[in-house]
Amino acid sequence: MKIKTIILAVLLSWGIPLAAKAESQDNSDYQVSCQSQCDRFKLSQNNTFPQIADSYDGGQTPRGRSLRGNPSLTKRIYAGGTLGIFFVSELDGIEIIEQDLDIDAIDPNTGFGGSLFAGYRFSHILGADLEGYIFGGGAEPEDSNFSSAGLFVNPRFFLPLGSNSLKAPYLFASPGVGIVGIGFGEEIDDITEDPDTAFAFQLKAGAGLPISESFDVIGQIRYVNAQNIYREENGEDSNLSTVGLEVGLNFKI
C-alpha cells in the first residue's frame, strides 16, 4: 500500500507540470495566431485607407472627371473684329442719267475693309451678335471708287472639334439679316441715280482657334446679298452680292 501511494505521488508530480506546460503552449499558439491575424488586418487597413484618400485627394472621383470634361461656360459675352478682301458683283444694266455715255455696267474692283461685332453666347453651341461692316475700293469706268456698309443681326452656331468646348478648335456658321448701302465716287454719282439702302441677308461660315481663355483667332467666308438695291435701265430693281474672305480676333469677356 505504501509503495502504491509513492508511485501515485510520483505520477501526479510529473503529470501536473506536463499539463501546465501543454496548456501554456496552447495559449501561446493561440496568442501568436491572433497576433498574426491582427497584424495582417492592420496591414490591410494601412494599405487600403491611404489609397482611398489618395484617390479623393487626386480628384479621381467620377464627378470630378465629369466636371473637367465638360467645363462651365463662364465667359458668355464676346466681341471682336475682322479684316479682309471683298469681291462685289457687277452692277449690270444700271440706269445712266447721261444718255450720251455708252456705259452698260459699273464694275467694282476688289475691295478692302473689315467688321466689328459684339454678342452673347447662350450655350456651348449657340450665340447671337450685332455686327457692322464697311469696305471700299476702286471701280470702273471713270477710274472712280466704290464703298459699301452694312449692319446685321446674326445668330451664331458653334461646333467644337474636341471634348473640351472651351479650349478645342471649332467651326461656326452665322446667318443674318440687316441693311446694306452702296456708294460711288463723284465721277459715277454724276451719271447715275443714287443707289438705295436695301434689305439684305448674309451667311458666314468659318473656324476658330482658342489661343487663351480670353481670345480666339478666327477665319471666315462671308456672302451678302442686298435686295433691289439699284435700278436698271428697264425700270426693274436688281440685287448686289458680295463675297468676303476675312481673318480676325474674337475676345471672350
In this predicted structure, what is the pLDDT of residue 54? 39
- Dist. CA 155–CA 177, nearest whole Å: 10
Q: Residue 82 — left, alpha, or beta (φ > 0 → left; ψ -120 to 50 → alpha)?
A: beta
Q: What is the pLDDT of residues 234-245, one digit of tens each?
A: 878 899 999 999
Between these two residues, 10 and 229, which has the higher pLDDT value? 229
Q: Is the confidence at residue 69, as pLDDT, over 60?
A: no
Between these two residues, 38 and 74, which has the higher pLDDT value? 74
Q: What is the pLDDT of residues 24-52, one digit of tens each?
A: 444 444 444 445 454 554 444 444 434 43
pLDDT classification of 1: cutoffs 50, 70, 90: very low
Q: What is the pLDDT of residues 111-135, one digit of tens each?
A: 999 999 999 999 999 999 999 999 9
In this predicted structure, what is the pLDDT of residue 28? 46
Task: Give me the amino acid identity at 235.
Answer: G
In this predicted structure, what is the pLDDT of residue 5? 47
| CA neighbor of 249 nearest in space, from 218, 205, 208 | 218
pTM of this structure: 0.70
In this predicted structure, what is the pLDDT of residue 180? 97
Q: What is the pLDDT of residues 135-185, one digit of tens each?
A: 999 988 767 889 999 999 999 999 999 887 678 999 999 999 999 999 888
In this predicted structure, what is the pLDDT of residue 24? 47
Residues 194, 196, 202, 204, Cα dihedral to 10°: 40
The answer to whether 78 and 251 have CB atoms below 8 angstroms apart is yes
Radius of gyration of the chain (CA): 43
In this predicted structure, what is the pLDDT of residue 153? 98
Q: What is the pLDDT of residues 187-223, one digit of tens each?
A: 777 777 767 799 999 999 999 999 998 999 999 999 9
Q: Is the confidence at residue 6, as pLDDT, over 70?
A: no
| 141 cis-preceded (ω within 30 degrees of 0) | yes
| CA neighbor of 187 nearest in space, from 98, 89, 100 | 98
Q: What is the pLDDT of residues 77-106, one digit of tens each?
A: 999 999 999 999 998 888 777 666 667 788
